Structure 1
Amino acid sequence: MKPTAYIKDRKFLIAFYFILMAFISSVMYLDGTVNISADNIIYINAVSIVFFFMYLTWDFLYQRNFYSTIHEMITSRQEDFVSALPEAKTNEQHAFILLLKQVYEQQNARIEALHERKREDRDFFITWIHEIKTPIAASRLIIDNSIGKPMDTILDKLENELDKIDGYVEQVLYYSRTDSFTKDYVISECNIEKVVKESVKKQAKLFIGKRIRCEMNHLDIEVLSDKKWLGFIVDQILSNSLKYTDQEGIITITGHENEKEKMLVIEDNGVGIKAEDIDRIFEKGFTGYSGRVYAKSTGFGLYLAKTLAVKLGHTISVESEEGKYTKMMIHFPKPLNHFDVT
């Protein structure tokens, strides 16, 4: 810190000192009851100025080291500046250092969150690339082995693989848009039955291929949601049920309503979920025991479903018993004015 900068910072104190001394000197000189000569007043002012500037000099030297260290850290662009901060000598400096540390910690937390997001994105895309390569390779194999086979059979198999590719592309598209979700949704009245039937129709070949029966009950319910995003959520849950339900199984889709909420329940009689995995199935990238043993899984479908549901104001819960059933429930809370509050 330069002396000129210090004097500039203390300009109001210096101005206050001279105004105060001028006032005191005037009172002493003009007050007839005080027997003091002009020379004595000048002497008092001269001595007080000397002491005042001695104080300013001491205060400058006392604080110069602190500010010089700060200035050096700024000019050197030191990265880990918190550990190099000098010791505070005043309450003002102490508050300043605390603020710097708080900003530094908050910035580190943001950077760590960005790094974590980058790592998660990298893991997702690596897994996704490996997953999408499977139907592509299968399509090539179907074409290579198509000689002498009926064209309808070949086209049907290729269409199945294209549907898988389309599903993976849709998943990565929704994943890439989760951060900009607020720019791309419209809340309106949605008919659950229409949303469910579109999802079932989209995955009809899987139902037929595995001879899985689908039962739908009491779905004529209106909910406040975004039809496109809700459809994707249902797609992910239904796809998960199809993946872990054995041949000739059954998936039951039912609507429920009470005074507090409306609910869509998708239940299958598949392999179920191990008790220790239930609390983690909505975590990003978590595949669990079933995902590792029964089918290949990216572990992102249910994560996306849960994330988008929360953004829409819905919740998803799960009940399951290993080897018996899995029940996924999408909850649509009703506005408070839809029921009495006592």
Structure 2
Amino acid sequence: MRNRLQYLSRYLPWFLLLLGLDAMSALLLWLSDAKAFAVLLPMILFATVLLFIAVAFVLARAEQRKENAFRVFLNHPDALNEEKLLRTVSASERESLRLLGNILREKELLRSRAEAAAEDYEEYVEAWAHETKTPLSLLTMVLDNQGDEIPAPAAFKLEYVRSQLQEHINQILYYARLKSARKDYLFEHLDLNVCIEEVLEEYGLLLKEKDFQVSIRMPSIKVFTDRRGIRFLIGQIVSNAVKYSSDSPKLTITLEQEETAEILRIRDNGIGVKECDLPYIFEKGFTGDPTDTGKKATGMGLYLSKKMAEDLNLELEVWSERGKGFEMTIIFPRV
């Protein structure tokens, strides 16, 4: 009803014009015959209003059909919907609509090709990453079973390279996973302590090489999340702690329980982040000032962590002070 009134309001100037013509006709009628004027004026006004309403109603219905056909055409600009729309417009508009239809179909074709190319790329990246895991698994098996036969310095370097490659492959896999339209998360109640232990074991060699003091102060608690996603998220935080550690590195993991959430805090005493850089650390490719650490960074770790947290419906908070450390807080809302 409201839409019809809006359509009718478009024709209000024409209604006023008709009333103006009626006023002129009434004036002439009054000048010619005053008695006839009193009788005919109400009939003229009634006929004018009735005619206006009838014509405006017909035009409003035509406009509404045209608008509906146009909306359908914009959502699905195929030839069938184009023909339906052409039946509702004037001859002067048809050529423009045909041109618009051709442009929209070309854009739709390009979009479909781009989606197919992106899907092929995602499948290739995932296949490449999984294929690369095979030699990494073989290297891991050799180091586990024949580590005693390899000189200690060489074994350590091989294990370090294996860990770095594993981390980069995980980043590639999760980057493809986050960008994919298909999400394969499996949400379940997980023991958070077990997840943390698995991550610390994965980064055990790097933590040992840096002589980290790891302190875990948290109760046994279960959270509702995806196992692979939360392990990746915690792993990126631990990896950054290793990369930007101090001379006597410490890693402290604590948990606070509140009424609406569990709050996991992971803190190190590394070099920290400049205050001016804090607002940008989750941006893709942001690495800060490379001269501060002398390290080559991709700027992808915290970016992927933020995206993963958003997918898992978790909140991230950051505290850091230059030269005093870095703390990442993961907030798990209670289900």
TM-score normalised by length of structure 2: 0.57
2:179 aligned with 1:156: no
Are the structure 2 counterparts of residues 274 and 163 from structure 1 closer, same or farther at C-alpha, using a change threshold of 3 Å? same
Shift in CA distance, 277/247, structure 1 to aligned 2, threshold 3 Å = same
Distance verdict in 2 for CA 1:334–1:194, change over 3 Å = same
Could you list the per-position Cα deviations for residues 81-112 of structure 1 after superposition, in whole angstroms to 9, with x for gaps in the alignment? 9xxxxxxxxxxxxxxxxxxxxxxxxx89x97x
Matched residue type, 2:281: I
Name the CA distance, whole Å, in 1 between partners of 2:280 and 2:92. 49
For the 8 Å contact 1:213–1:251, the answer to whether it is kept is yes
- The corresponding residue for 2:179 is 179
For the 8 Å contact 1:210–1:246, the answer to whether it is kept is no
Equivalent-residue separation in structure 1 for 2:189 and 2:247 (angstroms):
36
Name the residue aligned to 1:88. none
Cα shift readout 1:114-149 (whole Å, capped 9, x = no counterpart) = 89xx8xx9xxx9xxxxxx9xxx9xx9xxxxxxxxx9
Q: Which residue of 2 aligns with 1:295?
A: 295
Identity of aligned residues (%): 30
Change (3 A) 1:289 1:219: farther
CA 1:294/1:319 → structure 2, altered by over 3 Å: closer, same or farther? farther
2:95 maps to 1:72: yes
| Match runs of 1:229-240 below 5 Å | 229-240=229-240
SS at match of 1:220: coil
Q: Which residue of 2 aligns with 1:254?
A: 254
Q: Tell me if structure 1 keeps the 8 A contact 2:177–2:183.
A: no
The residue number in structure 2 matching 1:198 is 198
What does 1:115-130 correspond to in 2, within 5 Å? none
Counterpart code for 2:328: M
- Deviation of 1:207 after TM superposition, in Å, equals 0.8
Partners in 1 of 2:227 and 2:297 — Cα distance?
Answer: 26
CA, structure 1 residues 181+197, in 2 after alignment: closer, same or farther (shift >3 Å)?
farther
After TM superposition, list the pairs within 5 Å mapping 1:1-342 onto structure 2.
67-68=90-91, 70-73=93-96, 75=98, 151-180=151-180, 183-289=183-289, 293-335=293-335
Deviation of the 1:182 alpha carbon: 5.7
CA distance 1:281–1:153, shift in 2 (3 Å) = same
Aligned partners of 2:295, 2:101: CA distance in 1, in Å?
Answer: 51
C-alpha distance in 2 between matches for 1:221 and 1:227:
14
How much has 1:151 moved relative to structure 2?
Answer: 3.5
- How far apart are the structure 2 equivalents of 1:224 and 1:290? 38
Aligned CA RMSD, in angstroms, stands at: 3.7
Any idea what the Cα deviations from partners look like across 1:140-167, whole Å, max 9, x if unmatched? xxxxxxxxx9644323312211221111
1: CA distance between counterparts of 2:91 and 2:247?
Answer: 76
Write the letter of the residue equivalent to 1:327: E
What's the offset of the Cα at 1:75?
A: 5.0
Q: Which amino acid aligns with 1:272?
A: G
- Report the secondary structure of 2:289's partner residue: helix
Residues 188 and 150 of structure 1: is their aligned pair in 2 closer, same or farther, counting only changes over 3 Å?
Answer: closer
Residues 189 and 225, structure 2, Cα contact 8 Å, conserved in 1: yes
Amino acid at match of 1:264: L
CA contact (8 A) 2:269 2:326 kept: yes
AA in 1 matched with 2:257: E
Q: Size of the alignment, in residue pairs?
A: 220
Task: List per-residue Cα deviations over 1:215-257 (Å, max 9, x = no partner).
Answer: 1111422111111111010001111111111232111111111
Q: Under a length normalisation based on structure 1, what TM-score does the superposition of the two structures give?
A: 0.56
Encode CA deviations 1:268-287: one digit per residue, 9 max, x unaligned.
Answer: 11111111211111112212
